[in-house]
Chain A
């Protein structure tokens, strides 16, 4: 089956970069095109998985940055 929307449009939809006016067309297509809906779900899962990779630095790093900011000479 041929997808009813370009993949790039789907990408921008998943990443919330489409203008609001374009959303109804995408969501209508998703309801009637199972292949597109599957591709959309794949993208959402990939997005969630990639979000799970997020890491935090040690608290001491943040403390050092804040200390630097606090002691930064004003007017320089």
Chain B
């Protein structure tokens, strides 16, 4: 099976036909985005892992009971499930405001997978850690759009539909989320890696135009 080239919709069809390997591919494809979305809301790795399981279990139930009908948009559908679970958990207070680098948690994983030197990895993690904190400080509506667009793989129109606003409102919220992050980063910058900052535009300017 040339599975990496199959669409989500095709994988769902194969899964419903009994191919568990198709579900493994869906999990692999959407695990990181879904987990990051949850983690940035609940801010606790263990809770985020529990909620990730809950989200996929809910998806399995819907899929295997024949109730799935999302016009081939598995990723955005899964993201909405995960987002709702995370928001519910956050409101119930199932979180602690701390992300640990100890043990073999996801943040440690991200460092372990890096090919850069230890100092670079630490500087990068410092920047990421600061950015995670700043995302928490965004107004809820801005944070919601940023997470849905970036980690949930929803288009701005899909976000608008899911949150009951116009696409221009969704775009405006994203704009102000990015502006606010930039302002906050400027106030108290971490160790700067020029490849990580939001402020040095020269390197990428032509790249996008040429692509």
- CB contacts (< 8 Å) of B198 on chain A: these are 42, 45-46, 49
Total contacting residues, chain A, CB less than 8 A: 42
| Contacting pair A52 B128 (CB below 8 A) | yes
Q: With A68-B57, A72-B60 given, is the CB distance from A8 to B178 under 8 Å?
A: no
B7 CB within 8 Å of chain A: no
| Contacting pair B35 A57 (CB below 8 A) | yes
A-B contact count (CB 8 A): 138
Complex interface: stretch among B69-77, B83-91, B106-114: B106-114
| Contacting pair A41 B204 (CB below 8 A) | yes
- CB contacts (< 8 Å) of B40 on chain A: these are 53
Q: How far is the CA of A25 from the CA of B48 in the complex (A)?
A: 42
Q: How far is the CA of A15 from the CA of B150 in the complex (A)?
A: 9
A51-76 vs B, CB cutoff 8 Å, 1 = contact: the mask equals: 11111111001101110111010101
Q: How far is the CA of A26 from the CA of B155 in the complex (A)?
A: 19
In the complex, residue of chain B having the shortest beta-carbon distance to the beta carbon of A44: B204
| Contacting pair B172 A8 (CB below 8 A) | yes
Q: How far is the CA of A58 from the CA of B181 in the complex (A)?
A: 29
A21 CB within 8 Å of chain B: no
| Contacting pair A55 B182 (CB below 8 A) | no
Question: What's the dominant secondary structure at chain A's contact region?
Answer: helix
- CB contacts (< 8 Å) of A64 on chain B: these are 53
Q: How far is the CA of A27 from the CA of B32 in the complex (A)?
A: 32
Shortest CB-to-CB span from B201 to chain A, Å, is: 3
| Contacting pair B156 A50 (CB below 8 A) | no
- CB contacts (< 8 Å) of B156 on chain A: these are 11-12, 15, 17
Give residues in A with beta carbon < 8 Å to B. Answer: 7-8, 11-12, 14-15, 17, 27, 30-31, 37-38, 40-58, 61-62, 64-66, 68-70, 72, 74, 76
Give residues in B with beta carbon < 8 Å to A. Answer: 20, 23-24, 27-28, 31-33, 35-36, 39-40, 48-49, 52-53, 56-57, 60-61, 64-65, 104-107, 109-110, 124, 127-128, 131-132, 146, 149-151, 155-157, 168, 171-172, 174-175, 178, 181-182, 195-205, 207-209
